[in-house]
Amino acid sequence: MPSTYLTTRFNDRERVKQLGARWDAQARRWFVPEGRDLAPFASWLPPDGARAPDAGPLTSPTSLASTAASPLPADDTGLPAVPGRGVSLSSLLAGVAQAVASAFRAGAWTTAEVLKADVRRGHVYLELAERDAQGVSVAQARGMIWADTANRIVPAFEQATGMVLGAGIKLLLRARPTLHPLYGLSLVIDAIDPDYTLGDLEARKREIRQRLQREGLFELNRQLHPPWDFNQVLVVAPQGAAGLGDFNAEAQRLAQHGLCQFTVVHSRFQGEGAAAEVLAALHQGMDRFRRGPVLPDAVAIIRGGGAVNDMAWLNDYALARGVCELEVPVFTGIGHERDNTVLDEVAHTRFDTPSKVIQGIEQHIVRRAREAQAAYAEVLVLARQQAAGSRQAVEQDAQTLRQRAQRHVQDARELSRQALGTVHAESQRLARSAALASGTLYTAVGHRAMAQVAQARQLAPALLADVSAQARQTLLAARADSVLNLRTTLDHSRLGAAQARTTVDRTLGELKMGAHQQLEEARHQTQALVREVTGQGPEKALERGFAVVRRPGPRGAAITRVAHVALGAPLDIQLQDGRLNVQVLDIQRPTTATVTVTASTSHSASAPTPGPVIDPDGQKDRP
């Protein structure tokens, strides 16, 4: 009896499934496998009892198990009973494998997350999982795409999504379960829906975006004022990334010219936990600046291009929120122009690539420099214009002042001439008046003088007698005072002489005592010097580099002057370590005396040396 397709509604799916119906994914209909009783499915049977045209004979798991083993009685579950030794494990698993193959002949569409992807000899081996809302795996399975199928569906998937089939992406795939007695259950995949993967990625981004918008964080960083200029920039990038190399090529040139300094912190940008590492690196770099005097002008988050799923690791809520709440503008240069992440949406400025980030910074610096140059030129022009205007105004003011000064000088000269004429006339008038008045006064003074002379002649004898009497009284008083002063002076002189004599006696005693003390001290010093001289002796002088010049012989007298030496005379020179027998060959006078000698030593260790030079006082210079 062939398989029969059912006419069902959506709400009937659980009932027909419980009765034993199977789902045909290609036809998208439920069917009754061949060999099953159709009576329970009477309400869903089509009028003509349609049968799938390509459906082959299907058998139930019970019949498969019965076929794989020897006939055994079955229990209520439909599985064979186990009397005696039972069936082998391989036979049991073979029956289960046939049942699985029969139940999922056409495969079924299922969603799963890729934990691991591996390619061996053209075959693609996947580890698939289903996670709950908390990220805990609730189901896992192995999947495989045979080489001929992989060559067909994998490139189409990667071209449609821009992703590389790898860990971290979700797939809607058509899989046919297979059970191998030795290797267990696995899924053979023959189709992948790229629209589901792209939809899942966009759904994740949409969820993060909506959550940030609900919390009022989405626009925070984009609302910051852009940097007026760039002096310090914090860069977050993967270690050794090609995008960082392109960025540094220009950044180092800016740093070498002292235009902008770049501080780089590194982090992974893909893989499990990459978003947390990026956020930690970002906070670490900002903490360095927070401990310093100023914050960076901007933060650049950059990485080179890659697959879409490589960028998808950055679609993380915590990382996006960290960027939103940062107090400085954030620039992103992640991937290529077609790539877009949540970070690009919440960042202050989005650039397509790392190279465009540094180009944007460089262009901004150049623009500011040109603006400053233009402003300087404008200020210079305005200053020159102002200076020219000021110079013209000053010249006009100076000309006005000169004209006013000339007018004032002319007015002053005219006034001076008028005043001088007035003074001259007034002086002549006053002189004439004074001449007339002086004649009158002279006559009056003459008459008054004659009267006063006559009066004085009358008073002079009486006044002369008074003066003579007063002079005699004064002379007598002065004579008495002189005698008294003389006696007083004599008394003081005698007293002073006695005090002086006492002082002289005391001073003589002190001088005598001081002289005795000085003599005693001199005697002690002389004795000390004598002891020192006696202790030094000639040997000490010889040790300090001096020499003694003597006449030949064991008791030869010392020679102290050149005048005591004759040409050709032999001499004996005593040194620290021996004696030299020399002969005088030349004597120069009178300022210096140079004695040239030939020497032979009496000390066995000494070699012949030139003779000493002796000054006129007989003092020997050191050789």
What is the band of 216 on the pLDDT scale with cuts at 50, 70, 90? very high
Contact 315, 341 (CB under 8 A): yes
Residue corresponding to tokens 């006082």? 617
Give 276-334 as a DSSP string.
Answer: HHHHHHHHHHHHHHHTSSS--SEEEEEE----HHHHHTT--HHHHHHHHT-SS-EEEEE
Same domain? 169 vs 250: no
Q: What is the pLDDT of residues 27-62, one digit of tens each?
A: 778 888 877 777 777 778 875 444 443 333 333 333
Question: How sure is the predictor about 22, in pLDDT bands with cuts at 50, 70 and 90?
Answer: confident
pLDDT, average across residues 167-178: 85
pLDDT in tens, 76-133: 434 454 455 678 888 888 888 888 877 777 788 888 888 888 888 889 999 998 887 7
Q: What is the pLDDT of residue 125?
A: 92
What is the pLDDT at residue 594?
A: 53
Q: Is 542 within a domain? A: no
Question: Where does a domain end: 319, 343, 367?
Answer: 367
Same-domain pairing of 235 and 357: yes
Whether 248 and 307 share a structural domain: yes
Among 179, 214, 249, the domain-final residue is 214
Q: 235 and 204 in one domain? A: no
Asked if residue 259 has pLDDT above 50, the reply is: yes
- Same domain membership, residue 356 and residue 239: yes
Q: Residue 316: give its domain's CATH number.
A: 3.40.50.2300
Tell me: do 286 and 208 sit in the same domain. Answer: no
Which range of residues forms the domain containing residue 168?
107-214
pLDDT digits (tens, 9 = 90+) for 174-191: 888 888 888 788 899 988
Average pLDDT, stretch 447-476?
83
The pair phi, psi for residue 589, each rounded to 5°, is -135, 165
Average pLDDT, the chain: 80
232: pLDDT strictly greater than 90: yes
In this structure, are 357 and 241 located in the same domain?
yes
- Tell me the pLDDT band of 537, cut-offs 50, 70 and 90: low
Instruction: Specify whether 261 is located in the same domain as 350.
Output: yes
| CATH at residue 153 | 2.40.50.140
| C-alpha torsion sign, points 490, 493, 498, 501 | negative
Asked, for residue 167, whether it belongs to a domain, the answer is yes
User: 541 lies in a domain?
Assistant: no
Lowest mean pLDDT among 58-72, 305-319, 349-363, 381-395: 58-72
Query: Is residue 19, in this structure, part of any structural domain at all?
Result: no
- Judgement on whether residues 363 and 240 belong to the same structural domain of the protein: yes
Radius of gyration over every alpha carbon of the chain, rounded to an integer in angstroms: 66
Per-residue pLDDT at 541 exceeds 60:
yes
**Range picked from 5-9, 116-120, 615-619 for highest mean pLDDT:** 116-120
Q: What is the pLDDT of residues 339-390, one digit of tens each?
A: 678 888 899 999 988 889 999 999 999 998 888 888 888 898 898 888 888 8
Same domain, 194 and 288: no
The answer to whether 27 touches 2, Cβ cutoff 8 Å, is: no
Q: How many domains does the chain have?
A: 3
Domain annotation covers residue 38: no
Whether 73 maps to a domain, the answer reads no
Show which of 186, 214, 242 is a domain's final residue. Answer: 214
Q: Which residue has the higher pLDDT, 164 or 109?
A: 109
Residue 607, pLDDT above cutoff 70: no
pLDDT band at 621 (very low <50, low <70, confident <90, very high): very low
Residue 313 falls within a domain, yes or no?
yes
Task: Clarify whether residues 233 and 362 are in a common domain.
Answer: yes
Question: What was the pLDDT predicted at 71?
Answer: 40
User: Is the pTM here over 0.95, yes or no?
Assistant: no
Rounded-to-integer distance, Cα 613 and Cα 546, Å = 12
Q: Which of 250, 436, 276, 280 is nearest to 354 (CA)?
A: 250
In a domain, 172, yes or no: yes
Higher pLDDT among residues 164 and 592, named by residue: 164
Q: 246 and 355, same structural domain?
A: yes
Q: H helices then E strands: how many in the chain?
A: 11, 19
